[in-house]
Amino acid sequence: MLGSRLREGGFFGFCENLHVYLLAGERGYIANGIFAIAFLALCLSGWVVWWPGIKSLARGVRIHWSAGWRRLNWDLHSVSGFWSNPALIAVVVTGVFFVFPQPFMVALAKVSGGSVADVRAWFTTPESQAAKPGTAQINVQAAFGAAQSAVPSGMQIKYLAMPATPSGVFQAIAYRPHAAPYSQPVFLYIDQYNGRLAGIHDAQHLPWGLRLATYVYAVHFGSFAGMLSKVLWFLLGLLPTGLLVTGLVMWWNRSLRRVWKKLGQN
């Protein structure tokens, strides 16, 4: 071993821990998924609140820069929310998938006409065969070689996870070339004692509806169109803060300002 690095170490590790786990471990992870569902409800209800009617539709999708500051704040909130909502919903929905992957795919299977049995098979991990007492575990090189020899032609193993239990398996992951990052994975499971292929899950063998779920990483991280989509997703990540600020200003103008005036008069 030449060195090691904690995944949650340093500034970027802290940001990842905050973004994924809310600095609260598994409980924060679950809470993050629930908050994502709540944010999805905000996005969908925002479209309902925004709807100006057919006659005013053209006026409702543009910002009136010459208007007063209150109307300008309204336009910045409603118009930017309208145009960004499809991308925001895509990011939020894929975030929900990360926290609740199996229920998400079950719902996707029912919507697309797929089989729940396919989902259960996808999330079922094979086990190593029971070994005789004293049987040694194969080394990492042997596990990697066994996985690489079993992977479809033209693909390379990108990740290899160690067995976590005596009945566990080595889990290798490979991705098809020229596909969107982290999409269309192939999971290979290697028996930790005899090095045989214990099972394989190939995303291309999934029904088309379930295969869509393998693109969640590319959609969530904005890596589906190279640097262009990454820059757009970076700007998209800043937008909710702007919506928060303009929303608070609207709340102040509509409700809190009146309360503040009444308190001042008393």
pLDDT-based confidence at residue 124 (cuts at 50, 70, 90) = very high
Please tell me whether residues 28 and 157 are part of one structural domain: no
Q: CA separation (Å) from 157 to 140, 173, 189?
A: 13, 6, 12
How far apart, in whole angstroms, are the C-alpha atoms of residue 92 and residue 36? Answer: 6
pLDDT-based confidence at residue 76 (cuts at 50, 70, 90) = very high
Q: Does residue 28 have a pLDDT over 80? A: yes
Please tell me whether residues 139 and 122 are part of one structural domain: yes
Say if CB 76 and CB 247 are below 8 A apart: no
Q: Does residue 55 have a pLDDT over 90? A: no
pLDDT-based confidence at residue 104 (cuts at 50, 70, 90) = very high
Name the percent of the chain lying above pLDDT 70. 99
Q: Does residue 215 have a pLDDT over 90? A: yes
- Whether residue 217 is contained in a domain is answered as no
- Whether residue 49 is contained in a domain is answered as yes
What is the per-residue pLDDT for 133?
Answer: 84
pTM of the entire predicted model: 0.85
Please tell me whether residues 193 and 131 are part of one structural domain: yes
Please tell me whether residues 33 and 53 are part of one structural domain: yes
Q: At what angle do helices 10-21 and 25-50 cross, to 10 degrees?
A: 70
Please tell me whether residues 60 and 120 are part of one structural domain: no
Lowest mean pLDDT of 173-177, 190-194, 252-256, name the range. Answer: 252-256
Please tell me whether residues 146 and 99 are part of one structural domain: no
Beta bridge pairs of residue 165: none
Mean pLDDT score of the chain: 92
What count of other Cβ atoms lies within 10 Å of the Cβ of residue 191? 23
Q: Which domain holds residue 100?
A: 10-106+223-261
Q: Does residue 262 have a pLDDT over 80? A: no
- Whether residue 216 is contained in a domain is answered as no
What is the per-residue pLDDT for 86?
Answer: 94
Q: Does residue 193 have a pLDDT over 80? A: yes
- Whether residue 213 is contained in a domain is answered as no
**Which strands, in side-by-side order, build the sheet including 197-202?**
156-161, 169-175, 185-191, 197-202
Report the number of distinct structural domains present in the chain: 2
3-state helix, strand, coil in the chain (%, to 5): 60, 10, 30
How far apart, in whole angstroms, are the C-alpha atoms of residue 68 and residue 13? Answer: 43
pLDDT-based confidence at residue 79 (cuts at 50, 70, 90) = very high
Please tell me whether residues 154 and 198 are part of one structural domain: yes
We report the CATH number of the domain holding residue 141 as 3.30.505
What is the per-residue pLDDT for 266?
Answer: 63
Residue 187, SS3?
Answer: strand
Q: Does residue 178 have a pLDDT over 90? A: no
Q: CA separation (Å) from 165 to 87, 127, 161?
A: 40, 10, 12
Provide mean pLDDT across the span 101-108.
Answer: 94
- Whether residue 215 is contained in a domain is answered as no
- Whether residue 211 is contained in a domain is answered as no
